[in-house]
Amino acid sequence: MAGKAAAPGTAVLLVTANVGSLFDDPENLQKNWLREFYQVVHTHKPHFMALHCQEFGGKNYEASMSHVDKFVKELLSSDAMKEYNRARVYLDENFKSQEHFTALGSFYFLHESLKNIYQFDFKAKKYKKVTGKEIYSDTLESTPMLEKEKFPQDYFPECKWSRKGFVRTRWCVADCAFDLVNIHLFHDASNLVAWETSPSVYSGIRHKALGYVLDRIIDQRFEKVSYFVFGDFNFRLDSKSVVETLCTKATMQTVRAADTNEVVKLIFRESDNDRKVVLQLEKKLFDYVNQEVFRDNNGTALLEFDKELSVFKDRLYELDISFPPSYPYSEDRGQGRQYMNTRCPAWCDRVLMSPSARELILKSESEEKVVTYDHIGPNVCMGDHKPVFLAFRIAPGAGKPHARVHKCCVVQ
């Protein structure tokens, strides 16, 4: 039976995971990843669970199809998930369409004890009762139970297509209606470019794309409900400020390409101490002398440089972060805590929510701690991203005032 008697209400678990690494090295990584994921499910015993995956299928989806099928089958049929008798899986497998492919995978699991769960049909504009287990793949555009969009091409850096976009579903659980949005925003293409300005040019691109998503999910086509947006936002620390802080007493050497005079490397050395190298910066190199800075006290000293969400402070809320940066971890299965020296570690993977969703969560807080915001697999190699989750309870009756408004009882 899910849930504890001491904490009434409907237990909800929202997980985001960039799983690209799992399909590039499935033999070594998937087993550990699933074990850690199941442990979180066991600990929090959710009645309703959502798993939002990005880069599903890895860098080469076509080559990974068999691994994708195996991963999905494992999630749907494992002993750890046997009490979840209803499920919806939405996989964007349209890898041949540059214009549409997002590589997003969204999984939703409903515990057998949970009654009367409804999902919204965006075409019919009605809620439908959820029964059984169903998998939707290939072209999700024709599926009325979700909305999927890839960002317009002019949003992409240099207008080059990449797998970035969002998928939205709407649910009614315990008389509470809410949207769940799986999102993948743009990465930093070059550490050197990111370092040039504060905020970086990439931060501006992400800001524009996230604004686009928020405007879409609250536009006039459908009634407004609470929403949770969770995925790989690719939020980065303000690079210029971080480098200046880490290298306060260092001098900078600039290395340029002989033929183009373009800056290809920055080397920061201590002024004394035998001119020891503190930091080396290249397009895809961020090699700092002391990685403990990003792990000490879960890296919270660096949160002052985590500024990208501040632009949306009136539209998006996040619980306090108390876990270390979620990216870029080593993909060496023996190095669960080690960061790769490709990028400055950052909190890329987040669970964000609307102000009304925040009220729903806080209304459910009691003397017992029932809200947890954390990462999965702190000491285990989970790929280059650590999954991040939010666990909470919807208090009994929390959605009652809105039940009539949301027409959750309309069943097709």
DSSP helix/strand/coil, 14: strand
Written as one letter, the residue type at 260 is: T
| Separation between Cα atoms, residue 107 and residue 351, nearest integer Å | 16
- Is 26 contained in some domain? yes
The upper half-sphere exposure of residue 242, i.e. CA atoms within 13 Å in the direction of its Cβ, equals: 28
Q: Using the 8-state DSSP alphabet, how is residue 55 labeled?
A: S
Pair of tokens at residue 217:
């999910």
* Alpha-carbon distance values, 344 to 115, 140, 240 (Å): 45, 35, 11
| Separation between Cα atoms, residue 257 and residue 97, nearest integer Å | 37
- Is 285 contained in some domain? no
- Is 21 contained in some domain? yes
- Is 251 contained in some domain? no
- Is 209 contained in some domain? yes
C-alpha triplet 122, 17, 151: angle, nearest 5° = 50
- Is 280 contained in some domain? no
Q: Structural domain of residue 96, as residue ranges? A: 10-236+292-394
Residue 20 belongs to a domain with what CATH number? Answer: 3.60.10.10
Peptide bond into 328 cis (omega under 30): yes
Per-position pLDDT tens, the chain of length 412: 454 444 678 999 999 999 999 998 898 899 999 999 999 999 999 999 999 999 999 988 888 888 999 999 999 999 999 999 999 999 999 888 888 999 999 999 999 999 989 999 999 999 999 999 999 997 788 999 999 999 988 887 766 778 899 999 999 998 999 999 999 999 999 999 999 999 999 999 999 999 999 999 999 999 999 999 999 999 999 999 999 999 998 999 999 999 999 999 999 999 887 889 999 999 999 999 999 999 999 999 999 999 999 999 999 999 999 999 999 999 998 899 999 999 999 999 999 999 999 988 876 655 456 799 999 999 999 999 999 999 999 987 776 555 554 555 444 3
- If residue 294 lies in a helix (H) or strand (E), which one and from where to where? helix 292-295
- Is 264 contained in some domain? no
Burial of 395 (0-12, 13-18, 19+ CB in 10 A): buried
Written as one letter, the residue type at 275 is: R
Pair of tokens at residue 288:
């700092």
- Is 332 contained in some domain? yes
| Separation between Cα atoms, residue 82 and residue 194, nearest integer Å | 46
> How many domains are there within the chain?
1
* Alpha-carbon distance values, 312 to 206, 211, 341 (Å): 12, 8, 30
